[in-house]
Structure 1
Amino acid sequence: MDKIKLLWSKTNRWHRGFFVFLLVELRVFPERQLGFQCNDPALSHPFTGDTISWKLLLATTVILPLVVMLLVERKYHNDKSGKSKQAMFWFKEYLFGLLVNLATVQTLKLLVGSPRPHFFDTCSPKEALTCQGTEYVPKYTCTKAHWISQSDKSFPSGHTSLAVHTAIFLAYYLYRRTITRSNKILLLQVMLLLSAAVCSVSRMWDHRHHWWDVLAGAIIATPVLLYTIYSLCDNFECKMAAAECPSKVESDVVDAPLVSPKET
């Protein structure tokens, strides 16, 4: 026990976050399997693929925030040294928040075990061949090997949770760190929120999730997002030393800066 405590004391939040995520992905925790009703129309949709793939979603949620923050800090806060320390600091905190989000979603998927709308098509449970009417089947066995570990991972929607997390994070970041209220910034904020909405709705029209899965994904993103913004990123106030904290550009605009760098 002492060795375990010593090892744990030498880890940081990143180690612990990845450790939990790894345990979930390796299915170390007991999996729950919700049953199904025979001939349930909500589970009888055909699998048609993803409008927004996981690869595209992850690439967007990782690359876009980095690009936006680097450009904003350079343009509005004289961070032209090439080091972009403040932007990189916030990006690192954002990534940790994203890891917390993803680990939470994957854990719930494992513990709930909810069938997807294309459950009968992709799982093809052998019990469905003999059940009749609206009989409830508490246990089942998928016959399609490729989908054995995916057909019952509907709740909650990971796409929705990550998309909402990224879109609101960036929209609020732009609100806090851009000095002027330009139409271009407003348009960008609207586009970010609309993209999250489109991603969320696509999970339903693709029949990859039920509406309550999508709603749950958005709800889960909310507390993780608040933790990321206010605790990890300190509401986007500069936390670096005064000598290192990028100063704001001089502007002819009368509007006062939204955020003043902290001097520590």
Structure 2
Amino acid sequence: MGAVLAVLGVDEPVSYEPPSKKILCNIYGVQISLAHITTLLISVIVLTLTILLEYGTIPAVQQGFYCGDPQYSHKYKGETVTPEILGVTAVLVPLFIIISTELLAYQSFRKINPYTVVFYMQECIVGVALVLLLTSITKVIVGEHRPHFFDTCQPDTAVNCTAGQFVETFTCTSEYSQIFKVDSSLSFFSGHSSISWFIAIYLCYIIHVRTVTVNAGYIIKPFLISLVLTWSLLCSLSRITDRRHHWWDVLTGSLFGICSALYFAVVVYEKMKKNDPLVRSYKLTEEIPLSIHHRSAL
């Protein structure tokens, strides 16, 4: 390689040790670095911006509609998976799965490395925050009406218009809150779908690489994977049955969440490979041996 670089007139890069991570404090055995604080601050900024987008503080593009359009004529009947339920489960499900996989790998709570749990949760939170932000930005830019738009917005210009007539400007006159009236035009694409599928695929990767078969048994891995996939299916498909989204909103959100999770899986793997010598000789699709038997074999 050096000869090739010499012919091209390029100096061969000199290897060097990366700078050590600056540790700010130690909380219950978990080292908190400047990188952790920076990640937290960015997450707070992203969350704040997302809230401003979701609650209409930053106005969305107002799209017109065809008078009497049946795809916007459904009645609002509530939500199976509310944003509050999604938010709580989006924290508890990853935490439960990550702790469970570490417990199955080490066969003891005392042997679980808290830093490992924090690392996986941190990556998950960052990923969810970015997915949520991009989803909210897309909602505001597109401004697509929800299936229950006529019911929850009750546009003033739709009262006396002719069926099939295109209405370009309108004002919502329903008795719903201003936040909900703004939300009636934030359909594309589904945030429930993008978030739930990001978490599901991310956790499937964690389950795959951290759950050693000889320790956990052969049924526990597909069982845990089926749990997270079922959860994501419930979160996404309920948006169609509740008439909160069109099917293409759910499909696009699901694909966006899956693609984002695959990217984050590669990022997590690269970080693991740099910090865990047991990972360096393994490919992305293979398990990470964590049991005593595997360690002795290596």
1:206 aligns with 2:242: yes
Question: Once the 2 structures are TM-superposed, how far is the Cα of residue 134 of structure 1 from its aligned partner?
Answer: 0.5
What is the alpha-carbon distance in structure 2 between the residues aligned to residue 81 and residue 184 of structure 1? 20
2:12 is matched with none
Query: Cα distance 1:24–1:91, how it changes in 2: closer, same or farther (>3 A)?
Result: closer
How far does residue 30 in structure 1 lie from its aligned partner after superposition?
5.1
Residue 182 of structure 2, aligned match among 143, 149, 154: 149
The 3 A distance-change label for structure 1 pair 24 and 168 is closer
Shift of 1:16: 3.8
Q: Match for residue 22 of structure 1? A: 48
Cα distance per residue 1:51-109 (max 9 Å; x no partner): 11111111111111112212221331366246521121111111111100111111111
Report the CA distance between 1:26 and its aligned residue: 2.6
Structure 1 spans left out of the alignment, 5+ residues: 1-10
User: What is the CA distance between 1:29 and its match in structure 2?
Assistant: 4.9
Q: Matches of 2:149 and 2:195 in 1, distance apart?
A: 23
Structure 1 counterpart of 2:120, one-letter code: W
Aligned position for 2:10: none
Distance 1:236 1:173, change over 3 A: farther
Contact in 1 for aligned 2:200/2:229 (Cα 8 Å) = yes
| Greater RCO (CA < 8 Å, at least 6 residues apart) | 1
Query: Residues 25 and 108 from structure 1, CA distance in 2 versus in 1: closer, same or farther, beyond 3 angstroms?
Result: same
Tell which structure's C-alpha radius of gyration is larger: 2
Between the two proteins, the alignment pairs up a number of residues equal to 240
Q: CA RMSD in A?
A: 2.6
Alignment TM-score, normalising by the size of structure 1: 0.81
Q: Say whether 1:44 aligns with 2:44.
A: no
SS at structure 2 position matched to 1:197: helix
Map residues 1-264 of structure 1 onto 2, 5 A cutoff. Answer: 12-27=38-53, 29=58, 31-77=60-106, 80-81=110-111, 84-144=114-174, 145-146=176-177, 147-180=180-213, 182-231=218-267, 233-234=268-269, 237=272, 240=275, 248-251=290-293
Deviates more, 1:39-48 or 1:218-227: 218-227
User: d(CA) in 1 for partners of 2:164 and 2:135?
Assistant: 30
CA contact (8 A) 1:74 1:80 kept: no
Once structures 1 and 2 are overlaid, which stretch shifts more, 168-177 or 70-79?
Answer: 70-79
The Cα shift of 1:17 comes to: 4.6
Instruction: Give the drift of 1:222.
Output: 2.7
Mapped to 1, the partners of 2:96 and 2:274 lie a distance apart of 20
Percent of aligned pairs with the same residue?
31
Aligned partners of 1:97 and 1:228 also within 8 Å = yes
What are structure 2's unaligned runs of at least 5 residues? 1-36, 278-288
